[in-house]
Amino acid sequence: MIAPDSEIIAILREMNPWWRGERVSDLPTWRRAAFAELDLWVRQPPAPRAVLLSGARQIGKTTLFLQAIEALVAKGVNPRNILYVTFDHPLLKLAGLDAVLNLWRTTEVRDPGLEYLFLDEIQFLPHWQTWVKHQVDFQKERRIALTGSATPLVAEQQESGVGRWHTIRLATLSFYEFLRIRARPEPHLPEVPSLSRLFDWEQSAFAHATEAAAVLELEFHEYLQRGGFPQCALAPSVTWAQKLLREDIVDKVLKRDMTALFGVRRVVELEHTFLYLCLHDGGLLDMVALCGNLSVKKPTAANFIELLSAVHLIHKLPPLGYGKEVLRGRHKIYMADAAIGPSVLSKGRALLTDDALLGRVVETAFFKHVFTRFYDVNVNFAYWRGRNDVEVDIIAEVPGRLVPFEIKYRSQNTGAEDLRGMLEFCTTKGVRRGYVITRRLNDFGVVRIRQDDTDIELLKIPAPLACYWLGRSELEPANRES
């Protein structure tokens, strides 16, 4: 070992203050919605598996780990049976996992009972999937929790972890969590565990909610500019927030992680590809235009896009259909957070005066919310294009039905003439209900339209309310209605 044992032990003791009876300083008392699921899989896993907390850089994975450790200590687990280690640290990565575990057990006396291993940024270790598989199969006295900033099941490694870990995919802060972390007062709004419940509301209820939601409008625009990365949410200004996102998060992924994890050497071409995607956030991916404008070969660009998805910077949305319809169709690309594109493009507060860009950013924000709410159940997402280039932005493919969402973030109220794509989709597919995400708070309510002998109900709901309720309902994961 290049580093002496004493150096490694000193690092471990600094990372594990509970060994000496101390708490982690400045640990937030407020917990994200994902904490309950993580805590369950650490303390009473429903199946004999490890748990993998997966998500982008600087998204709050380490904080969740430290909160889970604090909860274990509070419940009486011997602190010396709990190990936290991050392999983002160069010396620990160099030492390797087995050496770190051996030093832990030679310096900290084990108490009878379970051991709890919290292994941060595990993707920096070679063959970690094989190690986890062996631990889950043969070390029943250990509970293992992992974090990773890149999707683990890539290429030849796809089979190594099947059935060995449960994945919790952590997104950036929802709008509701953004308000909580910034200690903003909550509006006096009714509980809405499912947006579908709003179809049953009386008109007076919509009016009362509209009045109560007035405080959300400015906060929602702040959220769109700052984004959902915790350090950006708490930055002293929008300028600082976008600088942090651009330099501390995006640049490190493109210039460091892509090389370290996937061996990317053509970093400039990768950066140009990502910039192109930022410029076309929420739009259809035109590979011919991308390759022609950037002078990048199609296989190279396609590989870059897959890797950007693997490190949680983008989402790919296929067209609705099956087989050749999907293979031949173009994907839509969404940034993983609404503020990524404006931050990379250094838009600042100018975002709020660019109606076209603001509409695309709201679409990205809403997609993140609805995707996060349903990612862990059997729901696929797509978009739909009909005749004469009419389109529905997002389709949730729920077992047995399709749920369409159209984003119309514009100053004027949304009328039937603005919803030709939604109405064509509903009549073509036999869908009776859909959702229209609006801008104006008073553009809120249920409209009923008869189209081609089909009775269609559309819920118009302002984006701040839709994102607020979707983010809040994540706290009730058992309820999975649309």
Residues 390/404, Cβ–Cβ less than 8 Å = no
DSSP sequence for 226-243: H-S-HHHHTSSSHHHHHH
In the prediction, which pLDDT does 70 show? 96
In tens, the pLDDT along 96-137 reads 899 999 999 988 888 888 999 999 998 888 888 889 999 998
Q: Which helix (H) or strand (E) holds 326?
A: helix 324-328
In the prediction, which pLDDT does 162 show? 59
Q: In what order do the strands lie in the sheet with 165-169?
A: 82-86, 115-120, 142-148, 50-54, 165-169
In tens, the pLDDT along 341-374 reads 999 999 989 999 999 999 999 999 999 999 988 8
DSSP bridge pairs for 435 = 405, 459
307/324 Cα distance (integer angstroms): 24
Closest-CA residue to 333 (of 285, 366, 287, 372)? 285
Q: Which helix (H) or strand (E) holds 117?
A: strand 115-120
**Is the pTM above the cut of 0.85?**
yes
Which residue positions in the chain have pLDDT lower than 50? 153-160, 475-482
In the prediction, which pLDDT does 454 show? 80
In the prediction, which pLDDT does 263 show? 86
Residues 265/373, Cβ–Cβ less than 8 Å = no
User: b/e per residue, 161-177, with b = 16+ CB within 10 A?
Assistant: beebbbbbebbbbbbbb
Q: How far apart are the first and last CA of the chain?
A: 54
Residues 270/258, Cβ–Cβ less than 8 Å = yes
Phi, psi of 317 (to 5 degrees): -115, 115
241/229 Cα distance (integer angstroms): 9
241/224 Cα distance (integer angstroms): 11
DSSP bridge pairs for 394 = 405
CATH placement of domain 5-170 = 3.40.50.300
Closest-CA residue to 394 (of 441, 334, 452)? 334
DSSP bridge pairs for 406 = 436
Report the half-sphere exposure of 32 (CA within 13 A, side-chain side): 29
DSSP bridge pairs for 398 = 401
Domain residue ranges in the chain: 5-170, 176-473
Helix, strand, coil percentages (3-state) for the chain, rounded to 5, are 50, 15, 35
The residues near 296 (Cβ < 8 Å, ≥ 6 apart) are 269, 272, 273, 290, 304
Q: Residue 343, Cβ neighbours under 10 Å: how many?
A: 29
Q: Would you state the structure tokens that stand for residue 319, as one six-digit string? A: 């067209």
In the prediction, which pLDDT does 422 show? 95
Report the half-sphere exposure of 5 (CA within 13 A, side-chain side): 9
318/426 Cα distance (integer angstroms): 19
Phi, psi of 323 (to 5 degrees): 60, -120
Residues 423/452, Cβ–Cβ less than 8 Å = no
Closest-CA residue to 178 (of 211, 150, 218, 212)? 218
DSSP bridge pairs for 284 = 332
